[in-house]
Structure 1
């Protein structure tokens, strides 16, 4: 069985052979982040695929934030590069939920939380507890929170 980390390693080797600078540097940085995570803590360990996904998600998010910052600072070339790296990393992540799919999960969770008696400001936490496991890795926290707030207000 191929692990996600070994797939990244294989893809890196292929990118180096193909002289694909963008892909090889992005994968190299991501593998470095994975290795850093593996040696953080008291004992070195192999990350599970889920943990590797979390690292890739974090790296992709960093690229998106950097792209935004560069774009706002008028540095289009760097913004483009960061965006390209983020999109490259997204290929390794599960497909993100569409707004409609996220909406559906949130609507059900709000109904479930209200049925359990969650009202007012406390409802947000109750709804997030129901939604988060269902959308883990499939939608960004900010998107989820915004959708939940919208439905609690409505």
Structure 2
């Protein structure tokens, strides 16, 4: 079942269950996906859907950080719940060790020998981890694995 189909089914179920937060998050995601379809003038591929879901999740994580920093406990709590709802639609996240293995393969494949070639390595790795790893974590690991 595609992510879009799951979103439709879960939206119907959230309406039946009167799960206001889940319904709100699903509607927001569906609106973002619909806007992207309109902009592109075609239906989105599964990969594009995952990209948008990842972007929405990243926005929530950034908001959570800001709410916690400002001491806004009620907003931070709501944002954590939104993150949980969004996370359910993304593939399982890779562990740090799995990412490190992929990074090492990417370094070997691109013959990168210094941090100056980090962009080349990131370009080779990101399609492999798309939707399954945080880009900042991947960048940190690439930086650690490449010699100065």
- TM-score, normalisation: structure 2: 0.91
Segments of structure 1 that go 5 or more residues without pairing to the other structure are none
1:48 aligns with 45
How big is the shift at 1:104?
1.2
Q: How many residues align?
A: 148
Segments of structure 2 that go 5 or more residues without pairing to the other structure are none
What is the CA–CA distance in structure 1 between the aligned matches of 2:105 and 2:117, rounded to whole Å? 13
Is it true that 1:109 corresponds to 2:119 in the alignment?
Answer: no
1:72 aligns with 69
Is it true that 1:124 corresponds to 2:118 in the alignment?
Answer: yes
What is the CA–CA distance in structure 1 between the aligned matches of 2:128 and 2:2, rounded to whole Å? 23
How big is the shift at 1:14?
0.6
Is it true that 1:26 corresponds to 2:25 in the alignment?
Answer: yes
Please tell me whether Structure 1 or Structure 2 has the larger radius of gyration of its CA atoms. Answer: 1
Q: What CA deviation, in whole Å up to 9, does each residue of 1:94-152 have, x standing for no partner?
A: 111101111111122223333xxx33343212322321222122112111111000011
What is the CA–CA distance in structure 2 between the aligned matches of 1:77 and 1:146, rounded to whole Å? 31
- TM-score, normalisation: structure 1: 0.87
How big is the shift at 1:73?
0.7
Match for 1:99 among 80, 92, 96?
A: 96
Contact 2:113/2:147 (8 A) holds in 1: no
What is the CA–CA distance in structure 2 between the aligned matches of 1:140 and 1:29, rounded to whole Å? 21
